[in-house]
Every structure is written in C-alpha cells, then in structure tokens.
Amino acid sequence: MLAIKILPHKPVIFRRVVRLMGDQFEISVVGSDPHWADDRIDDAIAEITRVEKLLSTFSDDTPINKINRNAGIKPVKTSGEIFRLIDRSLKISELTDGAFDITYYAEKEADDFETVINKTAVRQVNYQNVVLDAGQQTVFLKEKGMRIGFGANIRGYAADRAKYILQMQGVSSGVINAGGDLLAWGAGPDHEPWTIATADPAQKSLAYANVDISNMAIATSVNAGKQTAIINKKNLSAVNPQKGFAVSGIKSVSIVSTSAEFADAMATPVMSMGINAGLYLINQLNQMACIIMDDNERMYTSRAVSAAN
C-alpha cells in the first residue's frame, strides 16, 4: 500500500479591511489556515476596539474623562496602562520641546463633541502642567479646564497592542495598516522582507524610495493643501504650537521606528520643527529614521535611511 503524504498548504496573506477609530484599518496575517487567520484578525480587531474605548473622551465614564473632570481639583488614580501611556507621551513632549503635546484647554464642550479652544489658555496649558505620581499611580492636571487626549498617537498605540496580541496568538508575520500608518513584523510568504515604495508627488507612478519596514513601523504626516502620494492619508494642517503659524517648506514627513506609537507621535512635531532641526533630532535617537519631502519635491533623509540605501 502506498503511503500518502499530505503536504501543508503554502502560506499566503489573509487580509481584512475594517472601519475602526474613525479610519480605515487593514489587518494582514501570514498563514496557511483561513479559519485560524480569520480568528486571529478578530483578536486584533477586539484589541483595537478595547484601546479605542479605553482612551475615548466621548463617554463620561472613561478613565481619561475622569482625569479631565478633576483638572485643577485633585489627582486621579488610574490603571498602569494609562499611566505608562501618559508618562511616555510627556517624555515625547519633553523630547520635542512641546511640539507634541497631549494637553489642551477646553473652554466649553459642545453637544457634538467639538471643543471650543481659548487661544490664550492654550499658551498657558501644556504638558508641564501634568503631574504624575508613580508611587500612587495618579495623574493630576494642574489647571481647571485643562484636558488630555490621544488623537495624535492613539492609532499607533492601538497598532502596537494589536501586534502584541497577534504575536501572543502565534502570528509570526503580519502587517497592520492603521489609517495609513504601517506596522510590520516577520516576512512575507516568500520569505522576503516587508517593503514599501513611496512615490514622487510629481510622478506618482515612480518610486523615489524603497523602505524595508520588517519589524518596524512607519507613520507619515502631510502638510494640508500640498498634493502628495505618500502612503499616509493623514492630511494635517501643520501648525507650530509654540509660534501659532503654519509651517511652510515641508510637504510630508515619514517617521520609521520600532514602535508605531512613537512613529505616530513624532511625525507632525518633526514637520513643525523644520527640515534641519527635525533631521538633527531624529539623528540623535536610536532605532528611528525619517524621510522629509519639501515643497520643491526634494527628499531629505536621516542618517539611518541614508546608510541603508
């Protein structure tokens, strides 16, 4: 009798596109079993949804709103996860000299959740008015009317958490596209590294840079009103928070880092700093790189990108 050897299915990429956090997410995992892959993608979606609810300011009973309601009143004890996220955010604020800042001033809250901003108060309220007590695990906002929010880095943090959950479930290779921010680990089914090609805005069919993002994350901020074909769909009005005027000269900034949260948080601050200061900062940091495109479609790269090419 002949023995029949059943060969395993060749690994392929399983993808699903979903609407999360008000944006389009695409979750991809490499595997050979479609049912297993479908369950793993469900796990990732559940974790992203959990993070969105945890950090939301649209519900009165969220931990973030409890901190915000007690601004200028008393410290609020919070979970280790939120405490560490706030702590990391404040460190990024310090690193960028306040260009990244999770704090803002809410003069009043409108029914449709839009916030009316008092510009004078904005100058007075900043990350330095957030007091953390690691021993008690409390957060205190020193000024009444002060608020914190994670709109600038929540997608990156959610992508990092989803990757962690997937890896714990045995997903050795995958990609999470969080509204244009990419986080990749492992390799593709062909054992080749994950790469992206970013296009010259003037010639969208031609790539100007191929970037290996295996085990890395990349986030891009785009200056509003400037046409570009960079991967991220964030179309931001880049404003220098200290000077109050729109940043000119830069069309887009892409940050490459081992953490999607860090890459997400750093993209717009680097744009607000300008080309020279932004490159100088990135060149001082380990495991981080950037690609800057100016208004004249000239590309500038940090040393880590230049060395790789």
DSSP per-residue letters across 30-97 = EES-HHHHHHHHHHHHHHHHHHHHHH-SSSTTSHHHHHHHTTTT--EE--HHHHHHHHHHHHHHHHTT
pTM for this prediction: 0.82
> Which residues on adjacent β-strands are paired with residue 148?
103
**CATH number of the CATH domain containing 122:** 1.10.3980.10
**Paired strand residues for 232:** none
H helix or E strand, kind and range, residue 267: helix 260-273
d(CA 258, CA 208): 22
Write out pLDDT tens, residues 141-173: 999 999 999 988 999 999 999 999 999 999 999
Residue 252: domain span: 193-308
- pLDDT at 119 (0 to 100): 52
Give domain status of residue 188, yes or no. Answer: no
Tell me which of 23-32, 206-215, 232-241 is least confident. Answer: 232-241
pLDDT bin (cut points 50, 70, 90) of residue 123 is: low
- CB neighbours of residue 241 within 10 Å: 18
Q: Is the pLDDT of residue 178 over 90?
A: yes
Q: Is 198 found in the same domain as 144?
A: no
Q: What is the DSSP secondary structure assignment for residue 127, as one 8-state letter?
A: G
Report the CATH number at residue 250.
3.10.520.10
Based on the fold, state whether residues 294 and 210 are members of the same structural domain: yes
**Can you tell me whether residue 284 is helix, strand or coil?**
coil
Q: Any idea what the Cα angle at residue 151 is, between residues 150 and 153, rounded to 5°?
A: 70
Domain count across the chain: 2
pLDDT for the residue numbered 196: 74
Same domain, 130 and 207: no
pLDDT at 28 over 50: yes
Instruction: Quote helix, strand, coil % in the chain, to nearest 5.
Output: 30, 30, 40
Whether residue 5 has pLDDT greater than 60? no
